[in-house]
Structure 1
C-alpha cells in the first residue's frame, strides 16, 4: 500500500495544532510534530494513530526551521503537507504597542510561516504535489481595537498565502489559510485572563464576551478548525483562499 504524504504541523503541542495532527494521523498521514515544548509534543504523539516524529524547535529561528525540514526529508523523503499553525497573540492600545511587541507578533505570525513555506515548497514543486495551510485568523480580514500588531501580522500572512497560491497555481501545490474566530484553546484562555485582569470582569464574564462576538454565540472548537484544514488538504480546487471558521462573523 502506498504511504500518504508526510505532514509537518507547527505549534503541534496543544490546541489547534494538536487537533490537526490527530486528524491527519487518523487519516493515515505520517506527522512530524514541532513546537517548543517536547513534553506537549509527546502528549500529542500519544494521541496520534500512526507514525510521528517529535521535533522540538523554536519556529522563529531560520536555522531551526531548516533542521526541522531536513529531519523530515531524512526520515520520510520530505513533506507533502505543511500546516503552519504556530502563532501568538498579544494585545495593547496602539500608542502603547512597543517596538518589541510589534516585532514579536510579526516574527511569530508572519516571518516564521513565510520561512516554513519557503523551505518546504521546493520539494513539493519537485514532486508536483503539495498542500500548504496557514492558520491565520479572522483578524486577517478585519481590524479590532487593541490588536494592531496581531492584526497586521495576520493580514500579512494572508498576503503571503494569496501570493504563493498565485505563483504556484498549476504546479500541483496549493496554498490556503484557515481563519478562525475565537477558539477554545490555551491561547484564548490567556486572552480571557488578560481581559479579566484589565477590566475587572470575572473569567467567566470575559469568556462569555468573546463567545458573544460570534453570531452563533459560542467559541469555535479545535476540531472545527481541523475540519477546515482537512478540506484544504483534500480539495485540490481550493487555492489562495482564507476560509473563515467563526460562526458567521465575517461573511466572504
Structure 2
C-alpha cells in the first residue's frame, strides 16, 4: 500500500470534485466510472442524484453514513440510494467500478443501502460497459450490454455486511471502540454495566438504537475486522485466532452464516475473479 502524501490526497480530492461535477451535470440515465484509489484515502461526504452501484474489484472499502457503515470486500457491491450523504474509506489499495443509475424502478429505487454479491456475469458486464464507454463503440451494442447489466443487478443476492450505528451518545462510543478492537466473546452484561442499565433494559435499548440484536451486531462487527486481513492474503488461522475465536471451525461457522461461504472458498473465488 503506497504512502499517501498530502499532495497525493489533495490531487485525489480534486479528482473527486471534478468527477462529481461531471456526473451531476450529465443528462444520461446511466453513467459508469472506473477508479483506482490508494489505501488510506477517504472520499469526503457527498451525495448523488442517481443511485450508485459501487462494485469493488480489489481491496476493501468502508462506506459510512450517519446511521451505519457498510463494508464492501472484493466481489461485492453496495447499492447507495440517491440523495444519501456518504463517505468512502479505502481500507487498502482499491480497484472499483461505479454504475450511476437514474431510474425510479427496481433496485435503483431502493431507499436503503444494500450490500450485494456480484456474480461473474455482472462483473463481466461491468468490465465491458467501462471498456465500451472508454472506446465509444457502437451505441446499439452498448445499450444492450447496459440493459442486461441493469437486469442482472436486480437479481444479485444480498449479503448482511451492513453495520448499523447509534446516532450519538455513549452507546455510539462503545460501538466505535468495539469496531477498533472487536471480540466475539464480548458480553451483554459488560456493556449494560458500562451504561448503568439492567441487562433487559440494555437489550431493548440496543435493538431500538441499531435495529438488530447485540449478538447479531457483534458478529457483523467482528466480520468487519477480519475481511480486510483476509482480502490482503493473511492465513485464515491467524485471522481467526487474532479475532478471539477459539478455533478455525468456530470462525468458519460465523463466516458462512454472514457471507454464505467458507473463508477459504471466499478467498479462492476472489483470487480467481
The normalised TM-score by structure 2 is: 0.27
The answer to which structure has the higher strand fraction is 2
- Structure number with greater CO (CA < 8 Å, separation at least 6) is 1
Q: Which entry has the higher C-alpha Rg, 1 or 2?
A: 2
The normalised TM-score by structure 1 is: 0.28
